[in-house]
Structure 1
């Protein structure tokens, strides 16, 4: 397909031609209507003028006969204007009037008639159009009264000429404008198509061009770019999950297999086999828990969770979860405090939100242990959970006195299987806070990280109105609004 053929087949060019046809038809109808009404008006005025002159001549004829008619016609013929008069005998000899000669057709006519006559003009004579009434008088005499209507014919020619030139100019401008607009639009469409082809070939970093004009193509490109960014994020997450699964799950699977082989390598008693089976079940439970967490994150990011939303008091929910974790915190020598005095009602899924709060508290207890506190100038090991309303959102804040998260790592810690603890002596798979972030996105909120000086301050912000993002769309999060993974 040639560039010109492709241009002519664009919707913009076709619309331009359609608008040209419709506008031309409307213009023709309007011009014809104006011309027809003007012609009718001029014809009516012409007939009224001729009838008035005929009435006056008829009165003169009745009053003084043929002689009076001839004198009146001769007098009126001397008046400058477009009126035409002729009084002639039966042989066609002119007795009075400014018509010097008539054609046989006009002489033999009766009543209203259009005819062409000649009159003197610079350089000779000229042919002009006239309209007259022909009357036959007694004894074969003729009376012709008319008016020159050449100006009306010139007017009609001017109307036709203006219409043809106007339509031609309109067609030229419309086709030229359609060509220019179509070419400009086609250039942008070609750029979008080229970018789309590179994306289909696997380059997910490509984005559709945005010219900044704010038109419908820019709005479409911006929406598609957001979609492409989301797809790129999901694909990157999928690749990362696949790599992490292969890396993080390989070790427990090998450990499980080695333990079974060790138990089978030599004959042992029932206690040894029982211990091996119990540890194998424990490893299998850990693997099942990891896969369940991965499935939950996938469902939440796809927008498939949170069907059981209800109006709930988030302060009460935080108190209940904190009460469950008090024995765990006490066992690790950490003071767990819950500051949730004012009730705060939001619309959310109780089970998902409770799990997210539990993950935050569990994460804070792990990294706010006394050993971590001693490295922070002997600060008292403490985890505090609070709830407050701020700018239309309910903020669930969990703070600890642990080592915190380096600023360079804050963007990475929400990814699956990411653990900042190099020794990995603490139990966990690095999925806890990924699940919290997914719950926050599902409810239209965000997970933010702040420095607690020392320690970490994690903020789970949820809209009080309960707005959600469909299909896991990523809400706007301020820079640095991430947290570490368990």
Structure 2
């Protein structure tokens, strides 16, 4: 990946922002630690010097001048890093391990900072930094008590260097880590872009690779792949719809035109004209029914019918559909049995729900039959409590194979290759669209023998208050 492209990515910029925030917080924490450590050492030095000064002043009060001089000489022989100097009024040294009084002005609290020469074990003289407090004593004496702070300064310098290296390491590692993370993320996004370009180029079967990490990009890739699958299915369905329209609509239109043309080509009686017109109207009604079904499917799939949803009596809808198709079933020699739970209400679109139930009954009556006990169709409507409602239409016909159950829900799909049975192949497609509109689930199951179609309507069913009070 080009370096300029990597540096301009949003991921790298976010990594830099996070690095800046992390550095700010880490620097504040490290600064606090440094302040506490250095401050503790400084306070310890001040406390030691003040304690030594207080002890010597007390010695003067208790033992006089001679006792103070002896105490200073004794303490000055201690190999520790405490510094002492006691002078009289003439500036003569009375005791201590400093040779001259420092040439420095006292600061706050009488503290002075100065450099002095310290003899090493090898006999060399090193310049060290010291911090001391000067005290004026009776008899015009003055006392200097201090401590060598060279080691403390070195420790503070080491801490400062360590903190500086730590901050530098965090900056370098943060930039490198941000670049690596950005490179990986951008590489996966590039995969998505390449796949999108390939698909736009006509390779509809291409899919976005999934790394298996289960992160947000994988979830995005899976959702996009599902969307691409749906788009491919829709495009395949459109091609199939085109082929089926050419077969199912062109033939009736040709028959209609030919019939009218033949009727006009020869003299005919009034009865022949009437018969030709009636047959033409019948075929025109079938064509209108096909187009109306397509419009209903498009309306349901577009969600335009959601504005018309209200509480409807699902039990009454099913009962009305059964009464409508009961004569048709009797004429076909079928037994239509009902198992409808009374007064079950559901929030949905009345017209579309009624059309879906009617389509299921019409489909079942057309294909029922073949069982030894006679042809039968059963319609049931049941409550699923808080889960919603369930509408089931079952028959004992030949059924639908497992491999064809998904395909038969498409538009103009008819398993009967000869297409002798009346119909357009839009019935189950409309049922599927209505079910999706209501957030439900459509299942095609084996009725052993026959087909059982189950519509599970989710979370919007209720019992009538009158029936709940009766219970």
- Following the alignment from structure 1 to structure 2, what is the Cα–Cα distance between the partners of residues 412 and 154? 82
Matches within 5 A, 1:350-369: 350-368=350-368
Matches within 5 A, 1:30-429: 30-58=29-57, 69-88=68-87, 94-101=93-100, 105-106=103-104, 111-123=110-122, 124-134=124-134, 143-268=143-268, 270-340=270-340, 344-368=344-368, 373=370, 379-389=373-383, 392=387, 394-429=389-424
Deviations along 1:62-100, one digit per CA (max 9) or x if unpaired, are 777765554332222123322212235688664421113
Displacement after TM superposition at 1:163 (Å):
0.7
* CA contact 1:114–1:129 (8 Å) conserved in 2: yes
| Among 414, 435, 454, the residue aligned to 1:460 | 454
* CA contact 1:314–1:343 (8 Å) conserved in 2: yes
Deviations along 1:335-374, one digit per CA (max 9) or x if unpaired, are 3232336554433322212111111222222223xxx64x
| Structure 1, unaligned runs of 5 or more | 468-486
Displacement after TM superposition at 1:121 (Å):
1.1
* CA contact 1:314–1:345 (8 Å) conserved in 2: yes
Deviations along 1:445-475, one digit per CA (max 9) or x if unpaired, are 3333334444x232222235239xxxxxxxx
Secondary structure at 1:395 match in 2: strand
Secondary structure at 1:413 match in 2: helix
- Following the alignment from structure 1 to structure 2, what is the Cα–Cα distance between the partners of residues 448 and 20? 53
Which residue number corresponds to residue 469 of structure 2?
none
**Which deviates more, 10-19 or 83-92?**
83-92
Matches within 5 A, 1:18-37: 18-37=17-36
Matches within 5 A, 1:471-482: none
Which residue number corresponds to residue 467 of structure 2?
none
- Following the alignment from structure 2 to structure 1, what is the Cα–Cα distance between the partners of residues 424 and 98? 116
* CA contact 2:306–2:349 (8 Å) conserved in 1: yes
TM-score, normalised via structure 1 length: 0.82
- Following the alignment from structure 1 to structure 2, what is the Cα–Cα distance between the partners of residues 72 and 184? 73
- Following the alignment from structure 1 to structure 2, what is the Cα–Cα distance between the partners of residues 406 and 190? 42
**Which deviates more, 203-212 or 59-68?**
59-68
Displacement after TM superposition at 1:293 (Å):
0.7
Displacement after TM superposition at 1:315 (Å):
3.5
Which residue number corresponds to residue 3 of structure 2?
4
Deviations along 1:122-159, one digit per CA (max 9) or x if unpaired, are 33222211112346789997643322111221222122
Cα 1:129–1:383 shift into 2, 3 Å: same
Count residues with an aligned counterpart. Answer: 457
Which residue number corresponds to residue 437 of structure 1?
432
* CA contact 1:444–1:466 (8 Å) conserved in 2: no
- Following the alignment from structure 1 to structure 2, what is the Cα–Cα distance between the partners of residues 410 and 50? 95
Cα 1:382–1:126 shift into 2, 3 Å: same
